[in-house]
């Protein structure tokens, strides 16, 4: 019986049975740490809907020579984790609620060298009652064992299977599975199908200590056997060298399977690793639908999230429809893509690309940015003058506009890119603009100022008319209409003579009526102008009839009183009618030094049209 030493990995997939089970797979293996120290690992799998993993498990250690109990060791549950369940074919989908949990109990045991070595065993009952290929399966349990060779083998660590086979198989779908194991010592492994061991009872489901060897195999239900444990075409087989297992199941049900890896060193059999597991053959859904989640992000930015909401797919290929690049693809169920520019794109999703069950969906996505409008405000308007507003910002040529200009404004609304509006009064007015394009909208507001209009006014002292030489002061008396006058400009006959102060002083030198203008500018830049006239009167023209240029500083020139206040022309003639003197704007400078004494005749013409004529006597 010693050639039955092995590692037995036992499973029973949970089902709706009064004898609920929890084990669906596992293995017992060890690593020699040196000397007498061995680390044991009991790796188990259970159906998530069955009984939870035991809080502790008991490993029995038996002398290989006589199967007597040497010792037991207790391992503590370290916690479990779910095992991903996948299918070889992307065209198939398992029924829901298939779930498997795994755990690994570990511990170190001290076993001194023994001539014949030791047998390690763990037992647990019971299997599910709906197993199709065993007799009375609800009364059957499992035993997993491993053997530590005798002291003739200096050191050995047992083989361990690399992967757990699929828990569920799809009806009529071929399975090719690498059922190979790894041996830490590099020993040769030979693979075959085998019959699992029974262990435990309904009355004693977890024996402590486990029963000693030898162990009884589970009874097959005819016509099933060790090498034909499942309905399949072609039948189940395993490659003795590689451990590759192949099967195409043809009947739904639950089938216990046994696989063994024999461990040889230099042609000597050291150990056998047995795996006891359950195949659940189910009808899988082979429907694959490619469906793209409808667009639910609009007008935010050029980055779009996509999602596959079909069923049955295990792989994906996306093409986002950008004509200028071939890099606009992805291979996940929920990708994200940033488009190079706004536009309408045909997005394609292929579910399970490259397979016979591939399905394709195409959806239209409108990728547009929301307009980002701004109102280009004009300079502050003065008074109640109309104001022109222009829509600016980021939007395209197909944009539409909707203005809200306020109650009482003319107009109150508009739908053009530029609008001229007259507000009902002065002050600050809030206007709103909504810009729409490609189904997206942008909104902005602005404040438009209609500044109060200043009213120019003045005072003058003394009032008009005044004589030439009078000092005249003009003073600003404007109404700033709630604002503040910032600058002044005073002009006389269009010639500026003071531009920066609120008052101006003028000393006229010539008579006449003068055009005075005052322009005021307030802090908002609004202006107003007032025009008025001021009359300057010259003194009376008094003409002497004699003058004596004799050097006594008295009456030395032909002195016409007030003549310098006027623009004038003077002509002087001798008694024979010859012109002896002439002057434009005569200023009392003729002293007669170029003519002899005598009587002379003059004509004085003032630019205002007055004319004086007479004679004057020159005496030295």
For a pLDDT cut of 70, what percent of the chain falls above it?
A: 94
Residue boundaries of the structural domains of the chain: 2-282, 303-367, 372-451, 458-537, 546-618
The residue that leads in pLDDT, 537 or 500, is 537
The pair of three-digit structure tokens given for residue 394, joined into one six-digit string: 């980021």
* Residue the block writes with tokens 């602005």: 446
3-state secondary structure of 459: strand
Average pLDDT over residues 571-588: 94
Best CATH choice for the domain 303-367 from the list 2.60.40.10, 3.40.190.290, 3.90.1010.10, 3.10.580.10: 2.60.40.10
Establish whether the linkage from the previous residue to 415 is cis, with ω within 30° of 0. Answer: no
Q: Out of 16-20, 96-100, 422-426, 589-593, which region has the weakest mean confidence (pLDDT)? A: 16-20
26: pLDDT strictly greater than 50: yes
The pLDDT tens digits of the residues spanning 465-503 come to: 998 889 999 999 999 887 889 899 999 998 888 667 899
The pLDDT tens digits of the residues spanning 590-612 come to: 999 889 999 999 999 998 889 99
Q: How confident is the model at residue 286 (pLDDT cuts 50, 70, 90)?
A: low
The residue that leads in pLDDT, 279 or 434, is 434
CA distances to 310, 316, 464, 608 from 516, rounded to whole Å, are 88, 88, 12, 20
**Domain range 546-618, CATH architecture:** Sandwich (2.60)
CATH topology match: 2-282 vs 372-451:
yes
Average pLDDT over residues 245-262: 93
Q: Out of 94-98, 281-285, 534-538, 564-568, which region has the weakest mean confidence (pLDDT)? A: 94-98
Q: Can you give the pLDDT at residue 101?
A: 87
Give the CATH fold of the 2-282 domain: Immunoglobulin-like (2.60.40)
The pLDDT tens digits of the residues spanning 362-397 come to: 999 999 999 999 998 777 778 778 899 999 999 989
505: pLDDT strictly greater than 80: yes
Whether 43 and 104 have beta carbons less than 8 Å apart is answered as yes
Q: CB under 8 Å to 564, separation ≥6 — which residues?
A: 585, 587, 588
Average pLDDT over residues 276-280: 87
Give the CATH fold of the 458-537 domain: Immunoglobulin-like (2.60.40)
6: pLDDT strictly greater than 80: no
Domain 372-451, CATH class in plain words: mainly beta
511: pLDDT strictly greater than 50: yes
Q: How confident is the model at residue 11 (pLDDT cuts 50, 70, 90)?
A: very low
Beta pairing, strands 37-47 & 25-34: antiparallel
72: pLDDT strictly greater than 50: yes
Q: CB under 8 Å to 417, separation ≥6 — which residues?
A: 390, 391, 399, 401
Cβ atoms within 10 Å, residue 461: 10
Cβ atoms within 10 Å, residue 415: 10
Q: Say how far apart CA 456 and CA 470 lie, in whole Å.
A: 25
Q: How confident is the model at residue 171 (pLDDT cuts 50, 70, 90)?
A: confident
Q: Can you give the pLDDT at residue 88?
A: 62
Q: How confident is the model at residue 21 (pLDDT cuts 50, 70, 90)?
A: low
């Amino acid at each position: 019986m010693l050639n039955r030493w092995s590692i037995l990995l036992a499973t029973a997939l949970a089902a709706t049975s009064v004898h609920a089970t929890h084990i669906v797979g596992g293995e017992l293996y060890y690593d020699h740490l040196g000397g007498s120290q061995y680390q044991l690992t009991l790796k188990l799998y259970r159906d998530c809907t069955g009984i939870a993993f035991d809080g502790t498990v008991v490993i029995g250690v038996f002398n290989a020579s006589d199967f007597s109990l040497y010792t037991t060791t207790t391992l503590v549950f370290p916690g479990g984790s779910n095992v991903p369940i996948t299918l070889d074919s992307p065209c198939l989908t398992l029924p829901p609620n298939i779930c498997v949990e795994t755990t690994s109990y570990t511990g170190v045991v001290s076993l001194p060298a023994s001539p014949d070595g030791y047998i390690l065993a763990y037992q647990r009952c019971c299997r599910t009652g709906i197993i199709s290929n065993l007799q009375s399966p609800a009364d059957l349990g499992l035993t997993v064992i491993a053997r530590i060779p005798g002291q003739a083998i200096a050191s050995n660590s047992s083989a361990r299977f690399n992967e757990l086979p699929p828990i569920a198989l799809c009806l009529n779908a071929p399975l090719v599975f690498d059922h190979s194991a790894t041996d830490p010592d590099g020993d040769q492994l030979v693979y075959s199908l085998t019959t699992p061991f029974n262990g435990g009872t309904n009355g004693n489901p977890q024996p402590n200590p486990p029963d000693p060897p030898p162990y009884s195999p589970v009874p097959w239900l005819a016509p099933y056997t060790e090498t034909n444990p499942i309905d399949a075409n072609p039948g189940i087989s395993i490659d003795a060298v590689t451990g590759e297992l192949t099967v195409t199941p043809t009947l739904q049900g639950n089938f216990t399977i046994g696989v063994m890896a024999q461990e040889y060193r230099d042609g000597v059999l050291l150990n056998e690793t047995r795996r006891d597991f359950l195949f659940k053959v189910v009808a899988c859904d082979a429907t694959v639908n490619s469906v793209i989640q409808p667009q639910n992000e609009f007008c935010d930015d050029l980055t779009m999230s996509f999602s596959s909401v079909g069923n049955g797919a295990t792989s994906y290929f996306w093409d986002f429809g950008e004509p200028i690049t071939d890099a606009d693809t992805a291979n996940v169920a929920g990708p994200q893509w940033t488009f190079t520019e706004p536009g309408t794109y045909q997005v394609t999703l292929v579910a399970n690309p490259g397979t016979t069950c591939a399905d394709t969906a195409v959806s239209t996505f409108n990728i547009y940015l929301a307009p980002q409008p701004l109102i280009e405000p004009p300079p502050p308007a003065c008074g109640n003058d109309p104001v022109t507003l222009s829509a600016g910002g980021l939007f395209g040529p197909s944009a539409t506009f909707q203005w809200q200009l306020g109650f009482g404004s003319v107009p109150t609304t508009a739908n053009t890119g530029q609008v001229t509006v007259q507000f009902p009064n002065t002050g600050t007015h809030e206007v709103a603009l909504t810009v729409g394009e490609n189904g997206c909208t942008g909104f902005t507001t602005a404040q438009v100022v209609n500044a109060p209009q200043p009213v120019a006014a003045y005072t003058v002292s003394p009032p008009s008319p005044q004589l030439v030489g009078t000092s005249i002061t003009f003073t600003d008396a404007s109404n700033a209409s709630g604002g503040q006058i910032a600058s002044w400009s005073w002009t006389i006959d269009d010639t500026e003579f003071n531009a920066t102060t609120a008052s101006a002083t003028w000393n006229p030198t010539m008579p006449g009526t003068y055009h005075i203008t005052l322009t005021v500018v307030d802090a908002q830049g609004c202006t107003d102008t007032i025009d008025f006239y001021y009359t300057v009167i010259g003194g009376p023209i008094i003409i002497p009839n004699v003058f004596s240029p004799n050097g006594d500083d008295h009456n030395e020139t032909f002195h016409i009183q007030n003549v310098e206040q006027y623009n004038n022309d003077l002509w002087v003639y001798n008694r024979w009618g010859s012109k002896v003197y002439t002057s434009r704007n005569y200023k009392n400078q003729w002293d007669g030094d170029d003519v002899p004494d005598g009587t002379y005749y003059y004509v004085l013409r003032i630019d205002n049209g007055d004319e004086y004529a007479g004679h004057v006597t020159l005496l030295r």
